Chain A
Amino acid sequence: QVQLQESGPGLVKPSQTLSLTCTVSGGSISSGDYYWSWIRQPPGKGLEWIGYIYYSGSTYYNPSLKSRVTISVDTSKNQFSLKLSSVTAADTAVYYCARVPWGPGVWFDPWGQGTLVTVSS
C-alpha cells in the first residue's frame, strides 16, 4: 500500500521560504492515476488545502496562497515538494502531503503523518 512521508526543516525564519518534500513509497508517482497534494493545519485549527500537482507537472493552487506557493515533482526520486515564500507566523502549521485520485473527485487518501513547521525568529 502506498505511504507518504513529509520531510524538511521544522523551524523557518519570518520572510524566508518554507521548503518541504514528500516521499512516496509503495507506488509510483508517475502512474498517472493520482494527483499529489499539500494540506496544512495550524495548531488547534482546521484544514487548509494548499495545492496539488500531476506527475506531468501540471499544478493547481489555492488562490489564497497562489502568489507564494510552488509545488514541483521529481519522478526520478518519487517525490514532490512544496515551497512557500515570504512566510509569517500565520504559516505555522502541521503540513501534510496526500494523494488525490485522478478524475473529477478531489479527496485525500492516504495522508502522510504530517510535519510541524514553526515560523519564528
Chain B
Amino acid sequence: EIVLTQSPGTLSLSPGERATLSCRASQSVSSSYLAWYQQKPGQAPRLLIYGASSRATGIPDRFSGSGSGTDFTLTISRLEPEDFAVYYCQQYGSSPVTFGQGTKVEIK
C-alpha cells in the first residue's frame, strides 16, 4: 500500500501568514489522485481539495493544491483564524485508500 508522509508535523504560524503543507508518497500516485481534508477538534474531516488541485464546493480560494507523482502540497495563502486545524492528505490512486498522519497548523 502507498504510505503518505506529511510534513511538518506541526506548523506554528500567525493569522495572515502563508502555510505550506507537504505530503510525500512512498510511490507515485497515479493520475494525481490525491485529496486534502481539514479537521477541527471534535468535528469530522471536511474535503478541501481532490484531484490534487481541484477545490471542493464552497472552499475559499485561499486554499490551493499542487503536485504530482510523489510530492504534493497544500497552500493556504493567508491564514484566517478558522484555518487553524489538522490537515490530512489521502491518496486514491492505488488500493487501499490511505491517509497521511496529519499536519497540525497552530497559532503562533
Docked Cα-Cα span, A47 to B97, in Å, equals: 10
Docked Cα-Cα span, A96 to B43, in Å, equals: 11
For residue A63, which residue of chain B has the nearest CB? B96
CB of A26 closer than 8 Å to a CB of B = no
User: How many contacting A-B pairs (Cβ < 8 A)?
Assistant: 54
Residues of B within 8 A of A104 (CB): 31, 33
Interface size class of B (residues with CB under 8 A): 20 to 34
CB of B98 closer than 8 Å to a CB of A = yes
Interface size class of A (residues with CB under 8 A): 20 to 34
Residues of A within 8 A of B88 (CB): 46-47
Q: Are B47 and A49 in contact (CB under 8 A)?
A: no
- Shortest Cβ gap from B38 to chain A (Å): 11
Docked Cα-Cα span, A105 to B54, in Å, equals: 12
Q: Are B33 and A96 in contact (CB under 8 A)?
A: no
Q: Are A107 and B44 in contact (CB under 8 A)?
A: no
For residue A64, which residue of chain B has the nearest CB? B96
Residues of A within 8 A of B90 (CB): 47, 107-108
Q: A62-B96, A106-B97, A107-B90 in contact; A47/B45 too (CB < 8 A)?
A: yes
Q: Per-residue 0/1 for B86-99: is the Cβ within 8 Å of any A Cβ (1 yes, 0 no)?
A: 00101010011111
Q: Are A109 and B96 in contact (CB under 8 A)?
A: no
Q: Are A106 and B92 in contact (CB under 8 A)?
A: yes
CB of A60 closer than 8 Å to a CB of B = yes
Residues of A within 8 A of B33 (CB): 104-106
- Shortest Cβ gap from A73 to chain B (Å): 19
Q: Per-residue 0/1 for B12-53: is the Cβ within 8 Å of any A Cβ (1 yes, 0 no)?
A: 000000000000000000010101010000011111001100
Q: Are A46 and B47 in contact (CB under 8 A)?
A: no
From B56, B96, B99, give the contact of A47 (CB < 8 A): B99
A/B interface sample: 8 pairs, CB < 8 A: A49-B99, A104-B33, A106-B33, A107-B92, A109-B46, A109-B50, A109-B56, A111-B45
Binding site for B on A (CB under 8 A): 46-49, 60, 62-64, 96, 104-114
Q: A111-B45, A114-B44 are in contact. List 15 more A-B contacts (CB 8 A).
A: A46-B101, A48-B99, A49-B98, A49-B99, A64-B96, A105-B50, A106-B33, A106-B92, A106-B97, A107-B50, A108-B35, A108-B45, A110-B46, A113-B43, A113-B44
